[in-house]
Amino acid sequence: MTNTVSLKRLVPGLIIGPASWLGPYIAAASLFLPALIQQIDAENKIQLVALFSTCGMVFAAVSNMVAGYLSDRTRSRFGKRTPWLVGGATAFMISMILASMANSIPFLLISWMLGQIALNFIVAPMVAWLDLAPEDGKGTASGAYGGLGMALGNNGFTIFAAMFLGQFRLGFIIFGIITFIGTLLAAIIVREPSNLDEVLEESAKKEKKTLKESLAIFPSWSISRDYYLALIGKLFQGVGNFSITGYLLFIMTDFLHKGTVGTQQSIQLINTIMLIFGIAMGFIAGPLADKYKVLKLPVGLSTISLGIGALSMFFLQNDVGIIIYGFAAGLGMGIWNSLDNLLNLEVIPDKNRIAFFLGVYNLGNTITQAIAPVLAAFVISQFSFSAIFIVSFIFSAIGGISILSIKSVTR
């Protein structure tokens, strides 16, 4: 039987934990790393940022699955997740300190890749903390993790990080330390129960497996249809979202023809609306999902809401369209971030590999952030800027339809 942790302990940990790894990562990846690359090799900075992003995606994908696999099989007095995420936070802090000392691209690349590996040894075990929530509180726990923790990490830390743009080497160190302290604090608050007495299903049954079964890391479609539909929904939702947010600056300047002040105000307005909705849905969406036992419908419709927001800018091309996008995308992302991990938890095909499957699912964030800009750049070059709004709508709609096609979750 799975150990449970009271929401009084779990919810604060699920807010502080993801904010502590996501915020510093976003700050380092979007501000400190490009600034340091420019200082070391300004002539090749565009290509180098792309190289770091691509390598980071590969290392993240592999390390995420490995971290989930090892975490699922860990037995300790601190539980199966805590040793790995605390170790990962320590290694991430060290890698950021090393990055701050870099004076060459190879040294910086090695430090950054070590950081990517370490980060995913926090991410994969931590998201599996959701399974520690009581059955009638899993929605609340999911809302705390995705709605509040991720919202604070995505939006809250960037304001603070901008203060270190003139001292970006110090920024690496400070934000690496924040990750370590925040993750450790989250682990202390949650106090994951010991699982030393837990027996692996494989050991208990001692079944003989065929070679084919042993190599089947991912179950077949017939067994895991709903999990794969959720994963498809995640990937299409991510591309639909990031194809707009990744080019928001150029949408304002090149598509809507706004000046510097107008561009700044519009981007601030969109981010403010999305932050408000993200925090609000973190408080509201999870508890409502628990109370009314509804999950699939809000997650599926939240994805479609992103597409509607994209169409508003395509058709209106003015401030009204921007505001509608902010509300539609803010509502959609707020609900999605609050509930999508819980939906995935419901459709996982193997409950003995929760961290592994949740980790693979959360790779959708990394992969789509790499795919979306490339796809958007191709569409813009082949057609026009307006075409990315259509692409965003189509991908978001397919993502929503995939989620709504899940059968094992009825509502």
Decide which of 119 and 221 is more confident.
Answer: 119
Greater pLDDT, 290 or 98:
98
Q: pLDDT (tens digit, 9 = 90+) per residue, 74-102?
A: 999 999 999 999 999 999 999 999 999 99
- The pLDDT value recorded for residue 31 is 82
Confidence of residue 20 (pLDDT cuts 50, 70, 90): very high
pLDDT in tens, 344-370: 888 988 877 888 888 788 777 777 877
Q: What is the pLDDT of residue 181?
A: 97
- The pLDDT score that the predictor gives to residue 360 is 81
Q: What is the pLDDT of residue 210?
A: 42
**Integer Cα distance of 190 and 208 in angstroms:** 37
- What distance in Å separates the CA atoms of residue 408 and residue 360, rounded to the nearest whole number? 20
**pLDDT of 141 above 50:** yes
Percent of the chain with pLDDT over 70: 94
Give the pLDDT score at 228.
92
Higher pLDDT, 194 or 214: 194
Q: What confidence score (pLDDT) does residue 2 get?
A: 58
pLDDT interval class at 1 (50, 70, 90): very low
In this predicted structure, what is the pLDDT of residue 272? 83
What's the pLDDT at 79? 92
Token pair of 171 as six digits: 């920024």
Considering only the top CATH level, what class is 7-193?
Answer: mainly alpha
pTM here? 0.79
> 397 — phi, psi (to 5°)?
-65, -45
Nearest to 190 by CA among 18, 405, 367, 385: 18
Specify the pLDDT at position 15: 94
DSSP state letters, 140-198: HHHIIIIIIIHHIIIIIHHHHHGGGGGGHHHHHHHHHHHHHHHHHHHHHHH-PPP-TT-
Q: How many other C-beta atoms can be found within 10 angstroms of the C-beta atom of residue 25?
A: 21
The pLDDT of residue 199: 66
Residue extent(s) of CATH 1.20.1250.20 domains in the chain: 7-193, 221-404
Confidence label for 51 from pLDDT (cuts 50, 70 and 90)? confident
**What's the pLDDT band for 291 if we cut at 50, 70, 90?**
confident
Q: Where are the alpha helices (DSSP H) in 2-44?
A: 7-27, 33-40
Burial of 245-260, coded b for 16+ CB within 10 Å and e otherwise, reads: bbbeeebbeebbebee
| Residue 207: predicted pLDDT | 42
DSSP result, 199-213: --HHHHH-----HHH
Average confidence score pLDDT of the chain: 86
* 206 confidence band (pLDDT: 50, 70, 90): very low
**221-404: CATH class:** mainly alpha
Task: Using alpha carbons only, give the angle 17, 146, 95 rounded to the nearest 5 degrees.
Answer: 40
Question: Interior CA angle at 46 toward 40 and 48, to 5°?
Answer: 55
Task: Summarize the confidence of residues 195-204 as an average pLDDT.
Answer: 63
When mean pLDDT is compared across 3-7, 83-87, 135-139, 154-158, the lowest value belongs to: 154-158
Give the best-scoring range by mean pLDDT among 18-32, 192-206, 267-281, 371-385: 18-32
Confidence of residue 213 (pLDDT cuts 50, 70, 90): very low
Beta carbons of 290 and 136 less than 8 angstroms apart: yes
